[in-house]
Structure 1
C-alpha cells in the first residue's frame, strides 16, 4: 500500500499535540492512526502519543486471515485499553489532569477498512473520484446539527465548534464507533485531525485528492491549504492508497 503522512503545529499553536502512527502487525497487516491530544502541552502530547503506542501494542497479533468481526472486536478492545491507560494517568498524575485525545484508527485489509473512531478527527474515503466521510464527529456542533438546532453554515463558525462530547481518557469507560467500509484497488483513505477540515473545504480536499500528483505531494498540498487558510490548530494528515497488493512479513 502506498502511504504518506504529515503533522504540523500550525500557525497559531505553540506546540503540536497531534500524534500519527503508521505501522504493521507482526504478520504484516497495515494500520494507521491519528490522535489529537487535549489538556495542554505535555498532557495533550502524552495522551495522543499513548493512544498511538497502545494501539500498536494491542493490535500486534493481527493477521490477514482474521475475519472482519474479529478485527472489529480487537480494535474496540484496543481502544478500551488505551482509554484505561490514559484515564489512569490523568487521574494519578497532577501534570496529566484533564488530558484526553481524539482518535481515528484503521486496520487496512485488501478489500475492507475497519475503523475505530472517537472524537472529531475524521476518516474520508476517495472511491472513483467520489469523496465520502466515513465518520460522524462526536462534537457539540454535530449534536446540534443532528437535532436541527443549527445549520451547516452556523456550525462552521459556532463559538463552541471545538467542544467534543466523547474522547479517549476523559472518562473511565468509552465506546468507539467501529465502522467497516469496503475499499478497492485505487481507493484512497484519508485520516485527519480537525486542523485540516476546519481550514479546508471538502470540495478543496476532493480536488487535491483527485489530482494526478503523488501521494506525498497531495499531503503537502493539503497541509499548505490549511496553513494558508490560517492554520489555527495542529494539522495531521495520513493518506493510504490501496494498490491491491498484500505484503506478508517474513
Structure 2
C-alpha cells in the first residue's frame, strides 16, 4: 500500500494531515530590502545575535518569525502555541498529525517542545524536534516512541553545525493514540524534560484524571531520592532546572509509558507555561472538559491558553488536546 500513499504528481502524503508551528517566509528585509546577514544565519535567512534574535544585518530590524500565536485544528487533535505576555519570542513549538491509511487504524499523534531559554535560538530546537518526532510517530510501520525521540534528538543536535556558541536545545513530550480494535485505544507517552501529559476525565470516570509524566527536574529528583522534602526542594532556586533535554550536553533518553484507559477522556499535552499556573489534573479537567463538550479540542486548547495568559503569561504557552474514545461515551 505504500505505493498509493503519495501523489504521483507532487509527492503529497495522501494519508497524513499535519499542523504545527508557522514558518516565516524567506526573503529580503521588509524595512530596507537587504538580503543576507552578519554572523550566524537563522531559519528565515536573517542573522541571529547572541540572544538568539532574528535581525537584519543592515538595519537591525527584528523580524517576526510568525509563531507569536499559532493554532492547529485537525478535528481529532488541536493545539495552540502562544508567545505569552513577557517573552519577546515563542520558544515553544507543537506538531500534531493524523495518519489515516485506507487499510489500517487512524493514528493520532502530538508533540510539544519547549526551548531552553539560556541557549541560542531555542525556538529552532523546538521546531526541529517536534517535526522530526511527529513524522516518526506517524510512520506507516507503526509508532515507536523511543525511535521518535531519537530522531528528534538527532535533528536538534544537527543545529549545532550552524556555528552557534551555545547550540539550541529543548524539552520534548509526545503522545500517540492507537484506537486499536473494538474501541480499546492504546496511548503511548514519551518525554524528555519537564513538559507534561495529563489524562483528564470526570471525577467519577472509570479512568481517573492524573498526570502521566514525571518531570525531569532537579526538585523532582531530589524528592524521589529522599534527599529533600517537597517544601524544601521546591523552595530551592534550582527547583525547576531540567536534568534531561535534547541538544548539546543533554541526556535525550526518554521515559516511556503505555496504558489502555478504562474509559473515554481527554489527553492533554502542555509546556510549563500552562502547568505552572494550573498543575493539578482535577483542576485542568474541570476547566477543559466543559469546553470539549461544547467546542471540541480546539476550544479546550484556546481556553487553557487564555487561562495561562490571564494568570500572567510569564512564559510561552503551548496546549494540545486529544479526545480519546467515542464522543457518545464521554461523560463530563
The alignment partner of 1:222 has SS state of helix
Residue among 178, 184, 193 paired with 1:109? 178
**Residue 318 (structure 2) pairs with residue 226 (structure 1):** no
Give the Cα separation in 2 of the matches to 1:139 and 1:96.
25
Shift of 1:234: 0.7
Residue among 85, 96, 100 paired with 2:169? 100
Residue among 124, 143, 151 paired with 2:221? 143
Partner of 1:179: 257
Give the Cα separation in 1 of the matches to 2:243 and 2:119.
21
Partner of 1:189: 267
Query: Relative to 1, partners in 2 of residues 1:9 and 1:157: Cα closer, same or farther, differing over 3 Å?
Result: farther
Gaps of 5+ in 1: 246-250
- Any conservation in 1 of the 2:116–2:170 contact (CA below 8 Å)? yes
Shift of 1:126: 1.6
Give the Cα separation in 1 of the matches to 2:271 and 2:137.
22
- Any conservation in 2 of the 1:30–1:107 contact (CA below 8 Å)? yes
Shift of 1:225: 1.9
* TM-score relative to the length of structure 1: 0.83
Partner of 2:114: 36
Shift of 1:106: 1.1
* TM-score relative to the length of structure 2: 0.64
The alignment partner of 2:134 has SS state of helix
Gaps of 5+ in 2: 1-74, 180-184, 328-332
The alignment partner of 2:209 has SS state of strand
Runs of 4+ in 1 over 2 A off after TM superposition: 1-4, 24-28, 39-42, 56-63, 92-98, 127-130, 147-162, 170-174, 183-186, 209-221
CA displacement 1:79-136 (0-9 Å, x = unmatched): 112212312322x222373321111111111111111111000000023433211110
Query: Relative to 1, partners in 2 of residues 1:160 and 1:139: Cα closer, same or farther, differing over 3 Å?
Result: same
The alignment partner of 2:312 has SS state of coil
Give the Cα separation in 2 of the matches to 1:226 and 1:15.
16
**Of Structure 1 and Structure 2, which has the larger fraction of its residues in helix?**
1
The alignment of Structure 1 onto Structure 2 pairs a total of residues equal to 236
Query: Relative to 1, partners in 2 of residues 1:88 and 1:133: Cα closer, same or farther, differing over 3 Å?
Result: same
